[in-house]
Amino acid sequence: MNRDAVDGMLAQWRDQRPDVDTSPIGIVGRVSRAARLLERKLQDNYDRYGLQGWEFDVLATLRRAGKPYRLTAGQLVASSMVTSGAITNRIDRLAGRGLVTREVDPGNRRSVLITLTPAGRKLVDEVVVAHTAYEAGLLSALSPRQRDQLAGLLRTLLVGLGDQATH
């Protein structure tokens, strides 16, 4: 079995602090490291479309919501993991690129409706195909059975951390 960087860290801790059970780092450290490595590699693929990761995230959220590809700013905040200030900024930039429109909700003028433009929909529909295929390649070290196991264990972890489905 090959060792990863976290195995090295755990060996150092065992040597230096044998009195402490540092085994939780074997999961928390690996989740953190995997997230950063994956994010970095995914950006390589987004670069081919002139997209930032956060741009794809917003476009994909609107796309998978289905017709009319429209959500309020608040719904985008809820389904992202960033604050409302960050969403305001993201919408500014995507609207500037002509990928979404921003309109006041006539039914509740405090609320803002964000809608995918035809250009935004075309882009996200194209990128999502390449994106998921690219992700599948990043997971190629895992067998189909291992992928199912891993997804299931991560779900258990997430639910334990309070994550829940909204749909």
Partner DNA sequence: GAAGATTGAGCGCTCAATCTTC
Residue 138 near residue 131, CB atoms below 8 Å: no
Interaction between residue 163 and its own copies (CB under 8 A): yes
Interaction between residue 81 and DNA (CB under 7 A): yes
Span 88-107, contacts to DNA by CB under 7 A:
88-93, 102
∠ CA 55-57-62 to the nearest 5 degrees? 100
Contacts of 45 (CB under 8 A, 6+ apart): 130, 131, 134
Letter for the amino acid at 14?
A: R
Interaction between residue 132 and its own copies (CB under 8 A): yes
Q: Which of 15, 50, 106, 109 binds its own copies (CB under 8 A)?
A: 15
Cβ 18 to its own copies shortest distance, Å: 12
Residue 77 dihedral angles phi and psi, to the nearest 5°: -60, -45
- Cβ closest to DNA, residue 6 vs residue 58: 58
- Cβ closest to DNA, residue 9 vs residue 82: 82
Closest CA to 72 of 124, 80, 51, 165: 80
- Cβ closest to DNA, residue 23 vs residue 108: 108
Q: For residues 74 and 160, what is the distance between their CA atoms, to the nearest angstrom?
A: 25
Interaction between residue 129 and its own copies (CB under 8 A): yes
Residue 61 near residue 82, CB atoms below 8 Å: no
**Region from 86-94, 95-103, 106-114, 123-131 binding its own copies, contact rule CB under 8 A:** 123-131
For DNA, the binding residues (CB under 7 A) are 52, 54, 72-74, 77, 81-93, 102, 108-112
